[in-house]
Amino acid sequence: MVSYYRTVWEGIGADDGHYYAEVKSGEIVRQIVAIGDVLYWATLHECSNELYDFTDQPEVSEEELEGFEEISVSDFESLWLRAKVEGCR
């Protein structure tokens, strides 16, 4: 089963934004960090910016996801496509 989530990204200083994750069978497989209008994408093997590379803890439990908001596949895919097309500015 694949699910999609959003939560607040608490960066350093002015780097607050949102964190989006695609979770498949209890493991994050794709993620997006949105800071302002800039989107940083990452997978296990690639990332758009090393400062926002893939999580070092991809396994997540249902309890860990309780504070996350579930979002639709279309919302996630729209952000993912935008992040991949635009890259980092």
One pLDDT digit (tens) per residue for the chain, 89 residues:
899 999 998 876 667 899 999 999 999 999 999 998 889 999 999 888 887 888 888 999 989 999 899 999 999 999 999 999 886 44
Predicted TM-score (pTM) of the model is: 0.89
Q: How many domains does the chain have?
A: 1
pLDDT tens for 62-75 read 899 998 999 999 99
Domain, as residue range, for 82: 2-86
58: closest CA among 87, 17, 15, 29? 29
In what side-by-side order are the strands of the sheet with 2-9?
38-43, 27-35, 17-24, 2-9, 69-71
